């Protein structure tokens, strides 16, 4: 079903459009369908084809690598990276979707080219510098091509570079970077969905929020100490100030959301040192409830779903860490079964009720 059919039916059902108007809109949309989205089998075929092509080329390079001279190795690396982009340029006028796939493969192979180039010239291994060069190449590719996979790669590689370098910059505050990335995910989730690039950033933020928050809570929690103003101020200011300033600059109306997310990130970070303390799971539960409430406020069902998932994970983690050890094996399994059945039914009931509440409301786009 196309993305315009559901709202069209809703408008006809609400008597905002006549049946004749609906048919004219349907005919117009169907007449321009070939210029719209590709069918999912075509997209899947291109994605699998690109992955298999890249894997085959890398396998060929690795199989013949030891028998090549340094100059031949460098020529092969350049041909590997440039060949994909050249093929994409050729396909640009014939099959734009294939062009996007080949350009993406070219940018992915750039990372392998950087690593192999360093090996050819016997350079010291520096994964941070290599990832920075790779990220710069991705940003340059996105600036030139404006393809959404290039933007996604640039975001992931930049975040990866920051994570690899953070330990060298602030060895006593390694975990702080995940607080900043969690806040950045919230900023991405708050963007309007009025362009493809913003929808990509929104999807990245939605997919990355819970993993980053989980790593923030779990990572290095046993080595965290009390707040040290001199040691902690700079990493916290850098990690939280950068996404906070970015969010306010992009969408000032969400400043309250960003400030609340900043406070929650700090609380989650320091609550992680209370492992085994119920207050940790209380903070996690409150954060999950606020996330779902944010989804209700902006009529965004994905935030509601994410908030309920985070709340369920918080309850399960609390049970395994603080309750299960105090019960016998049979009793713990019985209680866990009741928790899954009863708690799952209750959460699903409330989730559906909130989804129905926001359905048809004005979405914050």
Please report the pLDDT score of residue 185 as a whole number.
95
In a domain, 357, yes or no: no
- Rounded to two decimals, what is the model's pTM? 0.81
In a domain, 26, yes or no: no
In a domain, 108, yes or no: yes
Please report the pLDDT score of residue 1 as a whole number.
46
226-240, 245-259, 272-286, 312-326: range with highest mean pLDDT:
245-259
CB 173, CB 235: distance < 8 Å: yes
In a domain, 130, yes or no: yes
In a domain, 83, yes or no: yes
Please report the pLDDT score of residue 276 as a whole number.
62
Please report the pLDDT score of residue 220 as a whole number.
60
Please report the pLDDT score of residue 240 as a whole number.
93
SS3 of the chain: CCCCHHHHHHHHHCCCCCHHHHHHHHHHHHHCHHHCCCCHHHHHHHHHHHHHHHHHHHHHHHHHHHHCCHHHHHHHHHHHHHHHHHHHHHHCCCCHHHHHHHHHHHHHHHHHHHHHHHHHCCCCCCHHHHHHHHHHHHHHHHHHHCCHHHHHHHHHHHHHHHHHHHHHHCCCCCCHHHHHHHHHHHHHHCCCCCCHHHHHHHHHHHHHHHHHHHHHHHCCHHHCCCCCHHHHHHHHHHHHHHHHHHHHHHCHHHHHHHHHHHHHHHHHHHHHHHCCCHHHHHHHHHHHHHHHHHHHHHCCHHHHHHHHHHHHHHHHHHHHHHHHHHCCHHHHHHHHHHHHHHHHHHHHHHHHHHHHHHCCCCCCC
* Average pLDDT score over residue span 275-284: 79
- Phi/psi for 92 (5° steps) reads -60, -35
Q: What is the average pLDDT value for the chain, to the nearest integer?
A: 84
Q: Domains in the chain: how many in total?
A: 1
More confident residue, 180 or 93: 180
Domain that holds residue 82: 37-167
CB 185, CB 302: distance < 8 Å: no
Q: How confident is the model at residue 361 (pLDDT cuts 50, 70, 90)?
A: low
More confident residue, 361 or 324: 324
In a domain, 249, yes or no: no
In a domain, 44, yes or no: yes
In a domain, 104, yes or no: yes
């Amino acid at each position: 079903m196309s993305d315009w059919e559901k709202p069209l039916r809703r408008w006809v059902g609400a008597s905002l459009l006549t049946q004749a108007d609906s048919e004219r809109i349907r005919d117009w949309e169907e007449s321009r369908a070939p210029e719209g989205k590709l069918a999912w089998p075509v997209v899947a075929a291109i994605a699998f084809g690109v992955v298999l092509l890249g894997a085959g080329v890398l396998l060929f390079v690795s199989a013949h690598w030891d028998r090549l001279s340094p100059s031949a190795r460098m020529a092969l690396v350049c041909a590997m990276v440039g060949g994909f982009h050249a093929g994409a340029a050729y396909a640009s006028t014939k099959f734009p979707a294939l062009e996007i796939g080949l350009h993406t493969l070219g940018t992915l192979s750039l990372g392998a080219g950087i690593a192999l180039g360093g090996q050819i010239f016997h350079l010291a291994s520096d994964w941070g510098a290599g990832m920075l060069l790779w990220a710069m190449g991705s940003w340059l590719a996105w600036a030139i091509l404006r393809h959404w996979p290039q933007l996604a790669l640039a975001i992931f590689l930049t975040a990866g570079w920051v994570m690899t370098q953070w330990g060298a910059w602030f060895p006593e505050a390694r975990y702080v970077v995940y607080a900043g990335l969690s806040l950045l995910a919230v900023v991405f989730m708050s963007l309007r969905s009025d362009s493809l690039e913003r929808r990509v950033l929104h999807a990245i933020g939605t997919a990355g929020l819970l993993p980053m928050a989980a790593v923030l809570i779990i990572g290095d929690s046993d080595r965290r100490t009390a707040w040290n103003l001199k040691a902690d101020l700079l990493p916290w200011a850098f990690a939280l100030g950068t996404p906070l300033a970015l969010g306010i600059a992009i969408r000032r109306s969400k400043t309250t959301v960003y400030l609340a997310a900043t406070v929650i990130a700090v609380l989650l970070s320091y609550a992680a040192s209370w492992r085994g303390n119920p207050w940790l799971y209380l903070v996690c539960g409150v954060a999950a409830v606020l996330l779902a409430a944010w989804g209700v406020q902006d009529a965004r069902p994905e935030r509601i779903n994410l908030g309920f998932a985070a709340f369920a994970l918080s309850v399960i983690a609390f049970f395994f860490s603080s309750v299960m050890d105090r019960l016998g094996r049979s009793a713990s399994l019985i209680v866990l079964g009741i928790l899954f059945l009863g708690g799952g039914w209750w959460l699903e009931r409330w989730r559906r009720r909130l989804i129905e509440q926001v359905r048809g409301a004005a979405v914050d786009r």
